[in-house]
Amino acid sequence: MSKRRYTPAEICEIFAVSKSTLFRWEQEAVIPSVPRDEKNQRLYTSEHVRAISRRQGDVLRRRYDSALHSEDLDALVDISEANALRKFLDGDNTGLKTMEYLPRLSDCTIRHLLRVAAEEPDRTGPLYCNIIQVLSLDAKRGRRRESSETSLNTPFQAPAEIRA
């Protein structure tokens, strides 16, 4: 996962921040300088994901406390899912374990899990198997939902390796 590169749109979707916020953080040195590809597009690395994850972790904790106090169960699930995805993309696989116990996963989370699984070279390794387990459990639950932070207008097609 450490070689994975993320576009600004992917980072914004994962962390539910706007592109202007992301670019402002870069200008203010909240996150490390972002390298660009040959087309001058920003490409974020795992180092950037960790920096944004740390920053967003505090925000998620405050949102969680607020939702807990107001007993908003849907918000608690959404925040728990966002935190689990944040941990997983930050290299902490306990995020996957948390996802097993959530009542449902958003399309955003499923899409990112499928991308990581598709990029995993060892189809018998623990990371791949754990991702497939989480996705299988979610599929058995059957209910699909949109992320409350983002609206995804295009359906996601799993990579051929995953569908097989």
Helix (H, G, I), strand (E, B) or coil at 100: helix
Q: Is residue 90 part of a domain?
A: yes
Kindly report the pTM of this predicted structure. 0.63
Q: Which domain holds residue 148?
A: 8-157
Q: Does position 70 have pLDDT exceeding 70, yes or no?
A: yes
**Domain membership flag for residue 44:** yes
Please check whether residue 98 lies inside any domain of the structure: yes
Please report whether residue 3 resides in a domain: no
117-152 tens-digit pLDDT: 998 889 999 999 999 999 999 888 875 554 444 333
pLDDT confidence bin for 163, thresholds 50/70/90: very low
Judge whether 164 lies within some domain: no
List phi, psi (to 5°) of 101: -100, -5
Does residue 100 belong to any structural domain of this protein?
yes
Structurally, the chain folds into a number of domains equal to 1
Rounded to an integer, the average pLDDT of 97-122 is 89
Q: Residue 143 in contact with residue 104, Cβ under 8 Å? A: yes
